[in-house]
A and B are shown apart, each in its own frame.
Chain A
Amino acid sequence: MAGAARHLLLAPAAVLLLGFFVLPYLNMLVISVMTPSPTAAYLHVFTLRNYAAIVGDAFTWGVIWHTIQIGVLTTAIALAVSYPLAYHLARAPRRRKGLLMALVISPLLVGVLIRTYGWMILLQDTGLINQARAALGLRPLALMYNDLGVLIGLVHVFIPFMVLAITGPIQGIDPELELAARSLGAGFWRTFWRVTFPLSMPGVVAGTILVFVLTISSYVIPSLLGGFKVLTVPILVIRTITELFNWPGGSAFAILFFVITIAVLWAYLRALGRAAHPGS
């Protein structure tokens, strides 16, 4: 294809992404400094009060803090749980890999809502787990409508992402290296912490960042498994937008949370860098 004509291939995507992705986000930035109004969507009057209202509100900070806690916990548990799975997958014989990969990916393709429904059947007060406990003469456990239920649901949903992110790098590690460490007298755990884990770090970093970002922005699981009792930032933002119709306030909150997320990730990468190069 000659000259400028070839760039027409990009045109539809460029128009769509600029017109309906980049511009909407810029527009949200602008709206976040407009004045909320009970009679219109917003007034075209500049104000920083939307941000000030969030920064000055202890309740909102509590929700932000709780959201980050859930994010960190979910990410840590998902990593611990996904690592053996990814290792097993990476070292599986070639012909079995397709099937194992299918097992990891298929939950990903079933909507979050459906999987959450499955957890509700299992975890509710009269659910299967508590039925089993009752049959054994045990007291029912509160597994849902609290942080525990939210954590179970979130970890479950994000394991496939973590596995997909770390399997590749683990596969890239030459098994000879582990073998060498073992034959030089290092035990299983020492080999793992000194050889395998450090070499899989690129995947671990990618996976943890991905899962953390997805966790703190998830809406379905905290609202269904948390049952209005667990409050997270997305729930609060959606409420501000769709129930209070405070678009400027909701936009400001969303943007502020975005900034906080970036800050958390920056601190995380810095800490990792410091751990990798102590003393620098």
Chain B
Amino acid sequence: MVRSAERRWLALAAVLLYLFLLAPVAIVVLAALNAGAYLRFPPDGLSDRWFVTFVHNRTLMRSFRYSVELAAIATVAATVIGTMTSLWLVRFSGRFRTAMRLLMIAPIAVPGILTGIALLIYFYAIGWGKAGGLPQLVVGHTLICIPYVVLIVSAVLVRFDRSLEEAARNLGADPFTTFRRVTLPLIKGAVIAGAIFAFVTSYDEFNISLLLSGVGTVPLPIELFDYLRFSFDPTLAVAGTISIAMAVAVVLITERLIGLEALYLG
């Protein structure tokens, strides 16, 4: 229990920290909307010219489409595999539960850079060329998307009332029908939330893409990284703004579907 003066200091500290957290994000949006080539105060006024430049930049647009395609494939794979795994973990894992759960979460617990290196060398060893290309990226991205689906879907499955499924089975439904007509509708929110997290994770993933991208078209974060080393072109801020808009959408949808409070790590 803190006294009122202390509570005011705490609230002030929290406000300052939230501002610190959001500052660079807000700055990127400002830079994208700013008319000038440099962000300065007072700003040069609003303009959509950088959005137009972005859409006409063929390299960036190609990377953007590539990233969306990659994220879409990885999301579908991770959502299906992750949901199956969650069902197994919560229902049938028995004494292997802790060990298997740890293994499933491991890809986001170990440094992405290490996984990228390990995969790069491994793909070469099994003859998948000198890495590079969509199949390798899909494997790498699916690997780091599955943990989010598993975490979110199993959190909801644990609270699931199984008597509903038993009722369906008693009434003669086969296991697959029971899943499709009873289980899935009830965990739909978590599955969608997991899929959204997977999509954003893949779309923004850097470490694995850095090592597994081939020559030619690369995912957007890798293209942006190359740009950023040498220039501050506001066209990049447009790419950032798209990313930020997606993040805001994800937060709003997740809050509606499962409530953000379910996401504590502790």
Seen from chain A, the residues whose Cβ lies within 8 Å of a Cβ on chain B are 1, 6-7, 9-10, 12-13, 16-17, 20-21, 23-25, 27-28, 31, 41, 81-82, 84-85, 87-89, 97-98, 101-107, 109-122, 124, 126, 128, 131-132, 135, 156, 159-161, 164-169, 175-176, 178-179, 182, 188, 202-203, 206-207, 210, 213-214, 217, 219-220, 223-224, 234, 237-238, 241-242, 247, 250-251, 254, 258
Contacts and interface: CB of A to CB of B under 8 A. Distances in A.
B265 A206 contact: yes
A110 B111 contact: no
Given A13-B84, A110-B204, A219-B207, A20 B1 contact: no
Contact of B84 (A10, A31, A117): A10
A115 B24 contact: yes
B61 to A, nearest CB: 17
Given A7-B88, A124-B232, A118 B225 contact: no
A27 B251 contact: no
Interface string B226-253: 0011001000110110011011101110
A217 B40 contact: no
A9 B244 CA distance: 35
Contacts of A167: 264, 266
Contact of A9 (B92, B104, B247): B92
Contacts of A97: 261
B257 interface: no
Nearest to A42: B121
Given A12-B81, A16-B143, A168 B200 contact: no
Q: Closest 8 interchain pairs by CB?
A: A118-B24, A168-B266, A217-B111, A111-B204, A109-B247, A24-B122, A24-B118, A114-B240
Given A20-B119, A119-B24, A241-B117, A98 B10 contact: no
Name the prevailing secondary structure of the A interface residues: helix
6 contacts: A13-B85, A21-B106, A84-B14, A106-B248, A179-B1, A219-B113
B13 interface: yes
B115 A24 contact: yes
Interface stretch (B25-33, B154-162, B187-195): B25-33
B39 A128 contact: yes
Contacts of B11: 88
A164 B265 contact: yes
Contacts of B246: 109
A118 B240 contact: yes
Contact of A117 (B40, B112, B118, B237): B237
Nearest to A183: B1
Contact of B38 (A88, A103, A126): A126
Contact of B122 (A20, A103, A169, A176): A20
B121 A28 contact: yes
Contact of B240 (A21, A105, A117): A117
Question: In terms of DSSP, what is the predominant structure of the interface of chain B?
Answer: helix
Contacts of B211: 238, 241-242
A34 to B, nearest CB: 10
A224 B228 contact: yes
A217 B114 CA distance: 8
Given A21-B115, A254-B117, A115 B251 contact: no
A87 B10 contact: yes
Contact of B139 (A20, A25, A156): A20
A111 B221 contact: yes
A128 B25 contact: no
B237 A166 contact: no
Of B6, B109, B121, B206, which is in contact with the most chain A CB atoms at under 10 Å from its CB?
Answer: B121
Nearest to B20: A156
Interface in B7-46: 10-11, 13-14, 17-18, 20-28, 31, 38-41
Interface string B157-191: 00000000000000000010000000000000000
Contacts of B251: 102, 105-106, 109
A105 B228 CA distance: 25
B172 to A, nearest CB: 16
Contacts of A165: 265-266
Given A9-B92, A10-B85, A84-B13, A120 B232 contact: yes
Contact of B260 (A27, A101, A115): A101
Given A113-B221, A128-B40, A6 B25 contact: no
B65 interface: no
Contact of B6 (A109, A161, A188): A188
